[in-house]
Chains A and B, each alone.
Chain A
């Protein structure tokens, strides 16, 4: 295609000079870019490469520094158990962040759902599967409230979920009378709630059902986000909601589904939480709001929406877990764990900003 073969009608006089010029504008060829640009482009196309690299490097460093105690099958399986809940809540956080939102209420929803499951099954004598189902419904309802406030009332997700965080937490204290449901009682009346604590011994390692469930959940959401139309729409809505709307996507419906699914995922995390701690405590999971955001950000998902991955979130959770575990085993003061996690967050966001500049 070129413009200089007998165009159907002559271009205007002042454009005549352009006729002889190269008109191959849309030939999508790239000039050879610099090495830095190439790395930037590569990371832009494969955003999970960074957290994967960081994870491998941190394991290597702690294996050298921490010596025998860090790099054992047993210790690594402990790390896996430690990150399970944050990784699953991180799934909920990831899908919300992909839509350029944020969900500060995930931790509170998980705690409320765990109290509903525990109290119904243990105190009220509801059959455990039904109690779990009701807990999941409570999670979905909380997510629906967030979704309605974001889509119908057009309030910013940060404010909505900050508000529901307080409200859900208050409901949780009211419903539970601020009382913990003891591990013993759950074990006797509702052992199904501790299902995910069951472990398969592999050598020294103890692989819990919870760890396996986490991997399955990650795989499921990887599939949903990258292989289904819903997943493409979640990305498109976060990328540019107006463009998504004009392309025929029902933006409100997608957002609504995202917040409800996030609530359901949090309820599953609640079940795993009871399994992990044995008991159901209204005071548990206090830090999981921020921890889930940390995992999402370190995993390379952009807080500006539209780009990121669920596998990155798993890697992000693992990185935090490895850092905390490794530093503890190296005998470093606990406060430096927090310092290191803080530094990781800032580096991750700086990297994201750099990658976003690829298009300019």
Chain B
């Protein structure tokens, strides 16, 4: 399956952006006026050395932490999140590194965890009965839309799946339910080479559905393979945004570690 790389028009407005985010923990400044832009339909990789403030940036964007200063804009509108639930409500879905799946629950139950549909009528409104047929049907649809539907039993517990399969379920959950942005935290870190490859394909499939993706990864080859743009984070702020087709991996690492100045046009404002 080949997915055409969408050309992001320069004039297009970012779907998710942040301006001047500051987050301090005591004397440590995790975010030092950090900016961020995610364009519609793109895969934006976020890379940075350990302690560069990457995860603080992502936590601020997903509502896991509240920045001390700065604004986050979604679709051009300022938003503020008290919790990841708030971010999810407007369509920012996150695939956490630990996947946030409940091992003993079934695939279908996990896909709908926290937003279970109820049957129509008094059975649903008064007795809170789950709409199991709909959950199974939509879970199957969500998995097959990502080419994952070779699962025989949608009711099998997630703990019986392999690491790659679990990642697939977590990605399917994030990409379903009318989400607008998918954030993935190190989706290939815990996987072997073959499973990583499958997950990279999944990431491209999600983009093919028109969803923009923020990909946090330490794995340079993976980043360079799928990313449309690379956001390089350094010392608590956006250091540069580079085009992976115009730069080498070693240069990106050099910029990231401060060994090299970013190319002129990539320097972040």
Q: Are B147 and A1 in contact (CB under 8 A)?
A: yes
Q: Are B113 and A244 in contact (CB under 8 A)?
A: yes
Q: Are B104 and A228 in contact (CB under 8 A)?
A: no
Contact surface of B with A, Cβ cutoff 8 Å: 1-3, 5, 84-85, 88, 94, 96, 98-105, 109-110, 113-116, 118, 127-130, 132, 147-148, 150-152, 156-157, 159-162, 164-165, 168, 193-195, 197-198, 201, 204, 220-221, 224-226
Q: Are A228 and B147 in contact (CB under 8 A)?
A: no
Within the complex, which residue of A227, A240, A246, A248 is in contact with B103, where a contact is CB–CB below 8 Å? A240
Residues on B with C-beta less than 8 A from A233 are 113-114
Within the complex, which residue of B99, B102, B165, B195 is in contact with A236, where a contact is CB–CB below 8 Å? B102
Residues on B with C-beta less than 8 A from A34 are none
A248-B221 contact in complex given A25-B164, A229-B118, A232-B105, C-beta closer than 8 Å: no
Residues on B with C-beta less than 8 A from A359 are 103, 157, 159-160
A1-B152 contact in complex given A12-B221, A26-B164, C-beta closer than 8 Å: no
Considering the chains assembled together, what is the distance between the CA atoms of A249 and B105 in angstroms? Answer: 14
Residues on B with C-beta less than 8 A from A25 are 162, 164-165, 194-195, 197-198
A28-B165 contact in complex given A248-B114, A306-B104, C-beta closer than 8 Å: yes
A9-B226 contact in complex given A21-B194, A26-B198, C-beta closer than 8 Å: yes
Q: Are B85 and A28 in contact (CB under 8 A)?
A: no
Residues on B with C-beta less than 8 A from A230 are 128
Considering the chains assembled together, what is the distance between the CA atoms of A285 and B106 in angstroms? Answer: 38
Is A32 an interface position by the 8 A CB rule?
Answer: no
Is A252 an interface position by the 8 A CB rule?
Answer: no
Q: Chain A: how many interface residues by the 8 Å CB criterion?
A: 46
Residues on A with C-beta less than 8 A from B96 are 246
Considering the chains assembled together, what is the distance between the CA atoms of A10 and B225 in angstroms? Answer: 7
Residues on B with C-beta less than 8 A from A9 are 224-226
| Most A CB within 10 A of own CB, among B2, B128, B165 | B128
A236-B201 contact in complex given A22-B194, A28-B165, A229-B118, C-beta closer than 8 Å: no
Residues on A with C-beta less than 8 A from B193 are 15, 18
Q: How far is the CB of B35 from chain A (nearest CB, A)?
A: 26
Residues on A with C-beta less than 8 A from B101 are 240, 243, 247
**Nearest B residue (CB) for A230:** B128
A-B contact pairs, 10 of them (CB 8 A): A8-B3, A12-B224, A15-B221, A28-B152, A28-B161, A232-B109, A236-B105, A246-B98, A246-B100, A358-B159
Residues on A with C-beta less than 8 A from B85 are 248
Considering the chains assembled together, what is the distance between the CA atoms of A28 and B150 in angstroms? Answer: 6
**Nearest A residue (CB) for B109:** A232
Within the complex, which residue of A3, A11, A44, A236 is in contact with B221, where a contact is CB–CB below 8 Å? A11
Is A152 an interface position by the 8 A CB rule?
Answer: no
Considering the chains assembled together, what is the distance between the CA atoms of A45 and B2 in angstroms? Answer: 39
| Most A CB within 10 A of own CB, among B94, B104, B130, B204 | B104
A249-B98 contact in complex given A27-B150, A228-B127, A358-B159, C-beta closer than 8 Å: no
Is A204 an interface position by the 8 A CB rule?
Answer: no
| Most A CB within 10 A of own CB, among B3, B99, B159 | B159
Considering the chains assembled together, what is the distance between the CA atoms of A235 and B157 in angstroms? Answer: 12
Considering the chains assembled together, what is the distance between the CA atoms of A8 and B207 in angstroms? Answer: 12
Considering the chains assembled together, what is the distance between the CA atoms of A240 and B96 in angstroms? Answer: 14
Residues on A with C-beta less than 8 A from B105 are 232, 235-236, 239
Q: Are B164 and A5 in contact (CB under 8 A)?
A: no
Residues on A with C-beta less than 8 A from B110 are 247
Q: Are B226 and A228 in contact (CB under 8 A)?
A: no
Is A179 an interface position by the 8 A CB rule?
Answer: no
Considering the chains assembled together, what is the distance between the CA atoms of A22 and B110 in angstroms? Answer: 28
| Most B CB within 10 A of own CB, among A242, A247, A306 | A247
Residues on A with C-beta less than 8 A from B225 are 7, 9-12
